Chains A and B, each alone.
Chain A
Amino acid sequence: SQQGEEDPQALSIQEGENATMNCSYKTSINNLQWYRQNSGRGLVHLILIRSNEREKHSGRLRVTLDTSKKSSSLLITASRAADTASYFCATPTGANSKLTFGKGITLSVRP
């Protein structure tokens, strides 16, 4: 069964707007990670938030984690055309030896 599920599946916004993406998971986790994938490329790690953290920032990225609701959100502020990509959340499984990825969110930022 899927551990992390992203929502929405696709998002289209105008440049300069904020983009919010959500991830829900099923079991207790040590941390939750967000990755970006540009078309035709490998995934790139964006941010890791640990289970004892509620919010984390990295540049224009803001990630929150609500362990009581088993959910996380990724906010990209002041989006740019270059933010167009697929975004994945991932959570540790298998005694924290591996990650399980969601199916991803396709973000399109219109110039």
Chain B
Amino acid sequence: NAGVTQTPKFRVLKTGQSMTLLCAQDMNHEYMYWYRQDPGMGLRLIHYSVGEGTTAKGEVPDGYNVSRLKKQNFLLGLESAAPSQTSVYFCASSFEGGYNEQFFGPGTRLTVL
């Protein structure tokens, strides 16, 4: 089992460019999450999904969109990147939401110039 994988691992964008981060899990988990981690800010939830075809806003959703067309994949899109979106992005999944553990991907380090 690969667990949770994220692509790409690193990316540099110019302000205004767009990109999509891909998260994939092979554990048949219903719940998937996108977080961003910034120094001194801890882990902040961007968007999440409670099942295929569903999405919901987290704590910091502005500037991001997500899609969950397949149960195993959760995509995070930046339509027009801004320097404030420079961060490390983590995807996670869990079987039963907050009732049990989350499994995290290795992260994507994004720099927006």
Contact = CB atoms under 8 A, between A and B. Distances in A.
A89 to B, nearest CB: 11
A43 interface: yes
Given A48-B100, A92-B97, A42 B106 contact: yes
Interface in B71-112: 90, 92, 97-107
Nearest to B44: A101
B106 A92 contact: no
Nearest to B50: A97
How many interface residues does chain B have, given as a range? Answer: 20 to 34
Query: Would you call the interface of chain A mostly helix, strand, loop, or mixed?
Result: strand
Query: What class of interface size applies to chain A in its complex with B?
Result: 20 to 34
A98 B33 CA distance: 8
Interface of A: 30-31, 33, 40-45, 48, 88, 90-94, 96-104
